[in-house]
Amino acid sequence: MLSLSSSAVLAFTPAAAPAVVSRSAVRMESPVMAADATSRRELFARAGATLAGLSAVQAANAKAGQFGKVEIFSLIGEPAISSPYQPGGPKAGAEATFGYAKTEGEFAAKGYEADVAREKAAFKVSADIINSQGKNVDSKTWWLVRDNLRGQAYEMKNNMRTINSQLGPKKAAADDAYAKFWKEIDSLDLACQKKELALAQKEYQDVLAALKAYAALI
């Protein structure tokens, strides 16, 4: 009976755990790996120190508003590609290149101010809307007349001024016609505000005449 109990105890006794060996005890670094890691650290440290030294020197010598010219990707004897301050053409005026490079050939947008085709097309759209307000005036739909006038005023004025700027000798006459047309528009708006049919009809005819006079100049 005693021997059976002893056997049972021995049978269920867990095996002894293997001895734990510290990882640091088995980790090995060859002399070559250690030297290579040290070399890389020294290389990065030296590169960082060099860049810091360059930045400090250039910051001390830079003029107000300038950035440092760190020529990281440039070769000796070549211009710095990382610097926005390059010698070049004029930095102001119609032929300006802002110092980046000298011009070769004509500017792609040269003479764009003289092209007022878009403004003339937009003016025609606005003029058609003005010319179609007769039925709204006659029906006393005052709010719609005023809304249509205001809806076209901003863009129509800009288009007319731009067109006038390219009319040469006719500019003075076009400016006068422009001023008269918008004065008549104000009078029509006031008549619609007062809701006076006869006055509104008279002012609308004046608007049409002024618009026709202006259109004849452009």
pLDDT value for 25: 47
Q: What's at 3, amino acid-wise?
A: S
DSSP secondary structure letters along 153-209: HHHHHHHHHHHHTT-GGGHHHHHHHHHHHHHHHHHHHHHHHHT-HHHHHHHHHHHHH
CA distances from 6 to 9, 10, 14, 16, 57 (A): 5, 6, 14, 18, 86
Structure tokens at 6: 């002893």
Name, in order, each residue with C-beta under 8 angstroms of 197's C-beta and a sequence gap of 6 or more.
Answer: 137, 138, 140
Nearest to 66 by CA among 48, 79, 84: 84
pLDDT value for 5: 46
Question: What's the CA gap between 117 and 157, in Å, rounded?
Answer: 15
Question: What's the CA gap between 178 and 156, in Å, rounded?
Answer: 10
CATH class of 116-215: mainly alpha
Question: What's the CA gap between 3 and 14, in Å, rounded?
Answer: 19
Q: CA-CA-CA-CA torsion for 59, 61, 65, 66, nearest 10 degrees?
A: -80
Confirm if 178 and 158 have CB atoms less than 8 A apart. no
pLDDT value for 134: 96
Residue extent(s) of CATH 1.20.120.290 domains in the chain:
116-215
> Per-residue pLDDT for the chain (218 aa), expressed as one digit of tens each?
444 444 444 444 555 545 554 554 445 555 555 556 567 777 777 777 776 665 554 544 544 444 445 554 455 555 555 555 555 555 666 666 655 556 666 655 555 566 788 999 999 999 999 999 999 999 999 999 999 999 999 999 999 999 999 999 999 999 999 999 999 999 999 999 999 999 999 999 999 999 999 999 98
